[in-house]
């Protein structure tokens, strides 16, 4: 089994607003990518001038100038990148809520020969205990010295990890009863949570992707690949959908929920077009 799968955070404490998580499970909220290669880039520039020369030499032929600050040229210690040593590499982080389809999305990304997304590498405490263990982990990752089932050949051009916003994992209860009286305020809270998160990433290059985008819009995955600067191709995944019945069959008190949301700005949550069929 994949060592970094979602399941490994099972047993974490129940969050105060379970309903929030259930809502997320049902509607699938968002995934945003942040390219935070600033951290690693800063370090690289401080290395000796010989290496900087080599990097400048590498950079020239391939990239428009404004792209330079988003890429780096890793020097893995455990192998040589060979003919790809001058292929620029982008770093990314997938920031996501639980149960929002990010695991599926990650398998789609990993079907690309030049993308390697390595799951929740920070779900092990020793890797996030203090800033030096975090930096050490990131250095290893962005030097392409990190090996998981997602590892590719030396021509990886986009390399990243996944970070869950709320680490407490609740596997979707098959038929939850939603707290109808607090439904609207809870949705508002979830929206605020998302807005606040995005505020933090204002100044960082990112893109926002909704689960529904991937399901309904064929171009969404092309835009992702353009964002990551890899050759665009068709992405595939072998993941199967867990919840296959229509929404009304998934929530025990669906009629109440439906009555509550009907006529509000959240009525579109009732469509569940993804689940029909
Ligand atoms: C993607 O991978 C292929 C095969 O390894 C390689 O030939 C190509 O140069 C890579 N593309 C980029 C943009 O790194
Ligand atoms: C940081 O955490 C690592 C891994 O647990 C540990 O070995 C190291 O001593 C810690 N460093 C500091 C400065 O606390
Ligand atoms: C929403 O309310 C309208 C009017 O009360 C009704 O006609 C419609 O069937 C309701 N829709 C759902 C999904 O319950």
Q: What is the pLDDT of residues 162-211, one digit of tens each?
A: 887 765 444 444 577 888 899 999 899 888 888 888 888 888 889 988 88
CA 116 to centroid of ligand 2, rounded, Å: 27
Given a cut of 50, is residue 21 above it in pLDDT?
no
What is the pLDDT, as a whole number, of residue 73? Answer: 83
Tell whether the model's pLDDT for residue 252 goes beyond 60: yes
| CA-proximal residue: ligand 1, atom 7 (nearest) | 155
C-alpha span between 237 and 225 (Å, rounded): 15
pLDDT confidence of residue 46 = 42
pTM: predicted TM-score of the whole model, two decimal places: 0.61
Residues at CB less than 6 angstroms from ligand 3? 258, 262-263, 270
Report for 149-153, 192-196, 261-265: range of highest mean pLDDT: 261-265
Asked if residue 222 has pLDDT above 60, the reply is yes
> Which ligand has the nearest atom to the CA of 74?
1
**203-216: string of b/e by CB count within 10 Å (b at 16+)?**
eebbbebbbbbbee
Q: What mean pLDDT is reported for the chain?
A: 73
Going from the Cα of 262 to the center of ligand 3, the distance in angstroms, rounded, reads 6
Q: Is the pLDDT of residue 13 over 50?
A: no
Ligand 1 geometric centre to CA of 155 (Å): 5
CA proximity to 37, closest of 14, 64, 15, 70: 70
Ligand 3 nearest atom to the CA of residue 270, by list position? 13
Identify the pLDDT of residue 6: 35
Average pLDDT value for residue range 16-23: 40
Ligand 1 contact via 114 beta carbon (within 6 Å)? yes
Q: Whose CA is nearest to atom 10 of ligand 3?
A: 262
CA of 161 to the centre of ligand 1 (A): 20
Pocket lining: 272 vs ligand 1, CB cutoff 6 Å: no
Answer whether 144's CB lies under 8 Å from 82's CB.
no
Q: What confidence score (pLDDT) does residue 85 get?
A: 82
Q: Rounded mean pLDDT of 66-74?
A: 80
Q: Please state the rounded mean pLDDT for residues 123-133.
A: 83
pLDDT higher for 26 or 54?
Answer: 54
């Amino acid at each position: 089994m994949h060592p970094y799968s979602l399941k490994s955070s099972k047993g974490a404490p129940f969050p105060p607003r379970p309903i929030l998580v259930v809502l997320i499970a049902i509607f699938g909220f968002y995934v945003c990518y942040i390219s935070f290669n600033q951290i690693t880039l800063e370090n690289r520039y401080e290395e000796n001038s010989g290496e900087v020369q080599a990097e400048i030499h590498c950079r020239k032929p391939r990239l428009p100038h404004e792209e330079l600050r988003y890429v780096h040229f890793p020097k893995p210690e455990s192998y040589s990148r060979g003919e790809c040593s001058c292929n620029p590499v982008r770093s990314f982080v997938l920031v996501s809520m639980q149960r929002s389809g990010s695991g599926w999305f990650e398998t789609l990304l990993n079907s690309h020969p030049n993308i390697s997304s390595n799951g929740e590498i920070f779900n092990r405490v020793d890797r996030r205990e203090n800033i030096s263990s975090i930096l050490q982990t990131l250095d290893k990752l962005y030097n392409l010295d990190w090996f998981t089932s997602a590892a590719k050949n030396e021509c990886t051009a986009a390399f990243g990890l996944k970070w869950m916003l709320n680490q407490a994992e609740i596997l979707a209860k098959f038929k939850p009863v939603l707290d109808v009286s607090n439904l609207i305020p809870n949705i508002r809270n979830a929206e605020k949570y998302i807005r606040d998160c995005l505020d933090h990433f204002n100044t960082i290059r990112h893109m926002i992707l909704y689960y529904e985008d991937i399901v309904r819009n064929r171009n969404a995955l092309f835009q992702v690949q353009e964002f990551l600067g890899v050759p665009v191709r068709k992405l595939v995944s072998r993941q199967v959908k867990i919840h296959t019945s229509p929404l009304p069959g998934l929530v025990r008190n669906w009629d109440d929920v439906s009555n509550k949301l009907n006529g509000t700005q959240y009525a579109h949550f009732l469509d569940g077009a993804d689940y029909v069929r």
